[in-house]
Amino acid sequence: MTVLQELIIENERQMQNFGQKLAAFLSKGDLVLLNGPLGAGKTTMTRGIGKGLQATGTIQSPTFVLARTHQTPTAPLVHVDAYRLGSAVELDDLDIDFERSIVVVEWPRDFTQGLSDDWLEIEISRDRDSDSRMLRIKGHGKWQERELDIDPGN
Ligand code: ADP
Ligand code: MG
């Protein structure tokens, strides 16, 4: 595991921009785990990733459907909410083709790690008295040899 980047995100727009720029690095087989409390900005970042990948449809919290697939010119974007997933068996039931897709998981669990050889873990922490979020991006697999220096703009 390598820490690829740490940065401060000041507002919702920057969170989207970050996701949009991250999308340029993503290709099939990539798995992105988004860790952070309710309201941290996991769905907001995923919306940016979707924008960057030119995904079809609206990206919203997939809480009730557990997973939603959006077509993109790069690879299908599968947006998973693992909050209600009870086990690896239930995840398996979703029949996600990790090798051919770009998979983004909100509320990752121990059984959502390592489903792909190459994965990113993004920790989003909230600041107590401002809108700022702290991002820490950790890389596994091929990501350990990569450099990430994303500027979220302003
Ligand atoms: P999660 O999916 O982690 O529960 P959402 O992305 O659905 O979070 O919601 C994040 C909320 O926080 C949105 O209402 C957004 O407007 C607000 N917000 C305020 N500041 C930020 C920020 N810096 N980054 C992301 N979202 C922010
Ligand atoms: Mg969400």
Residue 114, pLDDT above cutoff 90:
no
41 lines ligand 1 (CB under 6 A): yes
Q: What CATH number did the domain enclosing 72 receive?
A: 3.40.50.300
Q: Which ligand does the CA of 37 lie closest to? A: 1
47 occurs within a structural domain: yes
105 lines ligand 1 (CB under 6 A): no
Higher pLDDT, 115 or 70: 70
Please give the number of the atom of ligand 1 that sits closest to the Cα of 37: 3
**CA neighbours closer than 13 Å in the CB half-sphere of residue 53:** 33
Q: What is the pLDDT of residue 135?
A: 98
First and final CA of the chain: distance in angstroms?
A: 29
Tally of domains in the chain: 1
DSSP one-letter code for 31: E
152 occurs within a structural domain: no
Q: Alpha helix locations (H) across the chain? A: 12-23, 42-52, 88-93
For residue 122, which of 51, 36, 26 has the smallest C-alpha distance? 36
Rounded distance from Cα 127 to ligand 2 centre (Å)? 18
Q: What is the pLDDT of residue 61?
A: 84
57 occurs within a structural domain: yes
Record the pTM.
Answer: 0.97
Residue 117: give the domain boundaries: 2-145
- Residue percentage of the chain with pLDDT more than 90: 87
Residue 31, pLDDT above cutoff 90:
yes
pLDDT in tens, 51-64: 999 999 999 987 77
Q: What is the pLDDT of residue 79?
A: 97
* Range with the poorest average pLDDT among 3-7, 13-17, 31-35, 143-147: 143-147
